[in-house]
Amino acid sequence: MTATLEVTELRKQFAVGRPAIDGVSFSVPAGEIVVLLGPSGCGKTTTLRCVAGLEHPTGGEISISGRVVSSPARGVQVAPRSRDLGMVFQSYAVWPHMTVRQNVIYPLKHRKISRTEANRMVEEALTLVGLSEYGDRPVVALSGGQMQRVALARSMVYRPQLLLLDEPLSNLDAKLRLRLRDDLRVILKQTGMTALYVTHDQAEAVVLGDRSRQ
Ligand SMILES: Nc1ncnc2c1ncn2[C@@H]1O[C@H](COP(=O)(O)OP(=O)(O)OP(=O)(O)O)[C@@H](O)[C@H]1O
């Protein structure tokens, strides 16, 4: 199932400084890719972390498919693992001591899924990101772009209802970045997943987004 994300008047005030987010509202309709575009320090990552539940907002409300997951006014703060979302970050968040397949199957281990079904889901995710031939390779033997594909496969393997991506291409060299950027849109559209994508790169926002917000 794919989700609708609704962010209303979101506010985050850290212990020091100005508010990192000061009344941000947007929605991501089911199956769409919305890009948050803006310069460094404007609060994109903090917004994403609030949606993920890694950060507690100080105001406003976040709902996923109509369910309120963060609302300080109502005392609601649903834990990250109960939000049914996948996350991909700028750094290659893969486990270096594991193979590609072991990395991708990892999130399925704590779910009630049979081994046969888990293997099928892993193969499907690897095919989707173009790594079906690489399952047995140690991840350290992969390029940066391939590692990011592993991270993507791992975040999508259990088909979360919402995918959050924080500058997933920024550590790649220019050529790889362009290729993975184009592939990423195709992959996201194939799965029909709802996605919130953060970048400071205008070209990336234009190519990837169904809509973008600055
Ligand atoms: N844990 C924290 N404690 C205090 N201030 C923070 C914390 N995290 C972020 N901030 C501040 O909040 C503001 C927004 O930061 P955020 O990382 O969300 O911006 P960003 O738009 O994602 O930037 P970048 O593209 O550089 O990651 C910045 O001024 C930052 O210094």
Distance CA 202, CA 192 (A): 23
The predicted model scores a pTM of 0.90
Nearest partner of 183 among 159, 214, 207, judged by Cα: 207
CA of 164 relative to ligand 1 center, distance in Å: 17
Atom of ligand 1 nearest to the CA of 38: 21
Ligand 1 pocket check for 40: Cβ under 6 Å: yes
User: CA 129, CA 180: separation in Å to the nearest integer?
Assistant: 9
Output the tens digit of pLDDT for each of the chain's 214 residues: 688 999 999 999 999 999 999 999 999 999 999 999 988 889 999 999 999 999 999 999 999 999 999 999 999 999 998 999 999 888 768 898 999 999 999 989 888 889 999 999 999 999 988 999 999 999 999 988 889 899 999 999 988 999 999 998 888 888 888 888 888 898 888 888 999 999 999 999 999 888 656 5
Instruction: State ipTM.
Output: 0.93
Q: Which two tokens stand for residue 28?
A: 């991501």
Tokens 């508010």 map to which residue? 19
Residues in Cβ contact with 81 at an 8 Å cutoff, skipping those fewer than 6 apart: none
Instruction: Return phi, psi of residue 212, to 5°.
Output: -135, 160
Residue minimizing CA distance to atom 28 of ligand 1: 41
Nearest CA to ligand 1 atom 4: 14
Question: What is the position in ligand 1's atom list of the atom closest to the CA of 42?
Answer: 21
d(CA 80, CA 65): 15
Atom number in ligand 1 closest to CA 14: 4
Task: Return the axis-axis angle of helices 174-191 and 144-156, rounded to nearest 10°.
Answer: 20
Query: CA triplet 1, 26, 187: central angle to 5 degrees?
Result: 40
Integer CA distances (angstroms), 36 to 100, 129, 139, 201, in order: 30, 23, 30, 10
Instruction: Indicate whether residue 45 lines ligand 1 (CB < 6 A).
Output: yes
pLDDT at 117: 93
